[in-house]
Structure 1
Amino acid sequence: MMVNQAKHDVFQAVSDPTRRNMLKLLAEKEMSIAEITEHFPISRTAVNKHLHILSNAGLVRSRRVGRETRYTLRPEPLIEIQNWLTFFEHYWDEKLAVLKRFVEEDNQ
């Protein structure tokens, strides 16, 4: 039995540009839903749905402060994405080296 597993895939959560922009905002400071909504041309309900997905993926943490809920970034799950990208990095380096050799040979 898997315990404490995120309900949403981290990759799926960051696949949406709005959610990626929300993560950037929350990396700077803790914000309420109202503050976050001011940065996007979508409704508060839509912002709340995006935050719910990010929360289920473990990418944001929420806490109640009086009558509002405030959100902050939890960057730890992003390590999964970084590890995945790092795995392919040597392929990119290899392809760029081949391209460089090709361009240099073509110019001679």
Structure 2
Amino acid sequence: MGYASWVDEVVAAIADPVRRRILEMLRDGDLPAGRIAEEFAISRPAISRHLRVLRESGLVRDELVGRQRRYSLDPAPLAELTDWLARLTRPSGWEHRLDALETEVHRTRRDRRAGRAKGNTA
């Protein structure tokens, strides 16, 4: 899966409040699908669709244990998304360089004004 489509899938998966609540439920450990469905006032088939979206995005894993399908959180895609978001909010190398240039310009102007005030010409 390409990088952009991976980000799109994870973001789309967590965009829905029901799916975010399911992820919160799974934070403390795996749960059977029936237990997850009990928390919501929507149909079990609707919960199954939400779980499928979470599974396809890589945010949850499922395992058949006897007759129960149990779901568990896979936080790796969330960590990758957090890293990606952090890179967006961090200043780029150019911003640091432009900040340094701005500081140098202000320092040079200040030094020139100070030199003129003392009677020096710069």
TM range (shorter): 0.7 to 0.9
* Root mean square deviation, CA, Å: 2.2
Aligned to 1:86: 86
Question: Secondary structure of 2:76's partner?
Answer: coil
Indicate the residue corresponding to 2:61 in structure 1: 61
Q: Determine which structure has the larger helix proportion and give its number.
A: 2
Aligned residue runs from structure 1 range 5-44, under 5 A: 9-44=9-44
Q: State how far apart, in whole Å, the 1-side matches of 2:33 and 2:77 are.
A: 22
Q: TM-score, normalised by structure 2?
A: 0.65
What's the CA shift for 1:41? Answer: 1.1
**TM-score with structure 1 length normalisation?**
0.72
Deviations 1:61-83 (A, max 9, x none): 10011111000000001023202
3-state secondary structure, aligned to 2:71: strand
Q: C-alpha offsets along residues 45-95 of structure 1, whole Å, 9 cap, x if unaligned?
A: 01100000000000001001111100000000102320232134447xxxx
Please list every run of 5 or more consecutive structure 1 residues that lacks an aligned counterpart in the other structure: 92-108
CA displacement 1:2-59 (0-9 Å, x = unmatched): 59x96x7111111111101100001112111110011111111011000000000000
Look up the SS of the partner of 1:70 in the other structure: strand
Give the 3-state SS of the residue equivalent to 2:27 in structure 1.
helix
With a CA cutoff of 8 Å and minimum separation of 6, indicate the structure with the bigger relative contact order: 1
C-alpha separation between the residues in 1 aligned to 2:76 and 2:9? 14
Q: Tell me, in whole angstroms, the C-alpha distance in 2 between the residues paired with 1:55 and 1:71.
A: 9
1:75 corresponds to 2:75: yes
**Paired position in structure 2 for 1:97:** none
For the residue of structure 2 that corresponds to 1:77, the secondary structure is helix
